[in-house]
Structure 1
Amino acid sequence: MNQKVISCYEDFVNALLEAGFSMGGGNSEGIFSLIDWNWNEQPSYETPVKWHTGDPETDPWEWRMRVLDERDDIGYGKFFFKKSGYITREWIPYFLAARRGDMTFEEAYEDGLASNYAKRIYSVVAEYEILPLHAIKELAGFGKEEKSAFDRALTELQMKMYLTMCGKKQKVSSNGEEYGWSSTVFCTTERYWGEEIFKESGKIEKADAIRKITEQVYKLNQEAEQKKIVKFING
């Protein structure tokens, strides 16, 4: 895909909908990213887009939450190589078919395909439907000594497409006052995308999903390595 002129949030969304998926920032894995981390040095055209300015129109860091807050056709989370990325509604059925098929989390856990840490996290999110990060830790009983295990399990659940980010929420004190940094909010993939998506993915064979995504990767990046593409698709 030819490099798109991206000068604002709307340009980014339009380019993403055309591409179908993208790494969140940086393309160190050699697949595809619409906006690189060193974007300020990369574009071959003039653009006001810059990281970490706080401007919702021109800061890619702000776009992560904007797509979750304002749209229902784009997902964002740790989907690729245990790193953040975007997937559009058009392509979610293919990634679901490739990674989990019609297997529920409970079935995956029973088959030994999910960790006990992941089960603790998934159970509380499924029960409460939508939960901010700090509340998940508290309700699932994770202590400070389990921080690494918690982080790994949360990434595992996103990579296997059982949980996904769905926005952010401010912490609230016992007095009802908001404080501190905003906390990322999570929900089940089913809740975020809805039943129709899973009906669509259920009709797609895993091999067909892999072939379809592979073809799109090569359209976006003809130099992508086959080994990396396999890892990109399978998680």
Structure 2
Amino acid sequence: MINSEAQKGGITTYDEAANIISEIGILPLATLLPDHPSLNSLTKAENWHTGSELDPWAWRARFPGEGIAAYGKFIKKKAILISKEWFPAYVAALGSGSTLEERYKNGLCSREALTLYRIIREDEGIETRRLRTEADMKATDKKTAFDNAVTELQGTLDIVISGVDERKNAEGEKSGWNSTSFETVSHWMEDSGISTFKGTRTEAKEWLKSEMDKVWSPAAKTWMYKAWKW
């Protein structure tokens, strides 16, 4: 289990947070699971959104960028970090065994999700503004459909948030909000040197349960099993 000092906000550096993610496998950005830490709970509030090297909000882009953890809205549309050690089993246990095209034909994914996935697959690392433009979803009245589709793709483990790009003006100076970028799960894993899980879906589930038994509280496991419908 996480030590008491860490749970009191004792994590101050990126490396310390990376170690925690490796230890517990799954770390939400904000409080989500009962009796389970989040990046928010482990860090000091005054360090958030400072732009410094101690800013946990900035770390969320470094983790996937450095292959430390997958990042995305993987559970109940909430932002989650999943360690590189756990992610292959997570994908094998909870991802789909069919292509997005097959799922679309069977009514199991939205048309917008399929459109966005095809664009991301052809332009790995594409950032949000360009993705909306390429998908013809730049209009204000299409923003909700766009947001729902990228969240859907993360929840089905088809894409990850691979980083955050700074928006810059013509002079190369930072201008406006940063923009999220996306990659397919398979590309991010390959680019990060992460191998796929060697085993069946059942074996992947058992692997995750075994790892959770080592470090998770009973309450957190119960909550997650219910979320996963296990």
Q: TM-score, normalised by structure 2?
A: 0.83
Say if 2:164 is the partner of 1:168.
yes
Alignment equivalent of 1:88, drawn from 83, 86, 96: 83
* CA deviation map 1:160-197 (0-9, x unaligned): 11111111223356x57553222111111111111875
Equivalent-residue separation in structure 2 for 1:72 and 1:20 (angstroms): 14
Other-structure match for 1:159? 155
* CA deviation map 1:181-226 (0-9, x unaligned): 221111111111118756x33x322223223323433432222262
Please state how far the C-alpha of 1:130 moved relative to its aligned partner: 2.1
SS in 2 for 1:186: strand
- Between 98-107 and 81-90, the greater mean CA deviation after superposition: 98-107
Other-structure match for 2:36? 32
Equivalent-residue separation in structure 1 for 2:63 and 2:194 (angstroms): 18
Give the 5 Å matches for 1:64-213.
64-69=60-65, 71-142=66-137, 143-171=139-167, 175=170, 177=172, 179-194=175-190, 197=194, 200-201=196-197, 203-213=198-208
SS in 2 for 1:223: helix
Please state how far the C-alpha of 1:156 moved relative to its aligned partner: 0.8
Q: C-alpha root-mean-square deviation of aligned residues, in Å?
A: 2.7
Q: Does the C-alpha gap of structure 1 residues 132 and 36 become closer, same or farther in structure 2, counting only changes over 3 Å? A: same
Matched-pair identity in % = 28
Other-structure match for 1:61? 57
Letter in 2 for 1:205: T
Other-structure match for 1:51? 48
Gap regions ≥5 residues in structure 1: 42-48
Equivalent-residue separation in structure 2 for 1:103 and 1:31 (angstroms): 35
* CA deviation map 1:136-163 (0-9, x unaligned): 1111011211221211111110111111
CA contact (8 A) 2:212 2:221 kept: no
Equivalent-residue separation in structure 2 for 1:165 and 1:31 (angstroms): 26
Please state how far the C-alpha of 1:118 moved relative to its aligned partner: 0.3
Equivalent-residue separation in structure 2 for 1:206 and 1:105 (angstroms): 18
Letter in 2 for 1:114: C
Other-structure match for 2:2? 2
Please state how far the C-alpha of 1:84 moved relative to its aligned partner: 0.5
Q: TM-score, normalised by structure 1?
A: 0.81
Q: Does the C-alpha gap of structure 1 residues 176 and 132 become closer, same or farther in structure 2, counting only changes over 3 Å? A: farther
* CA deviation map 1:8-55 (0-9, x unaligned): 11111112112122112223x3263343358548xxxxxxx7322222
Other-structure match for 1:18? 23
Equivalent-residue separation in structure 2 for 1:17 and 1:225 (angstroms): 17
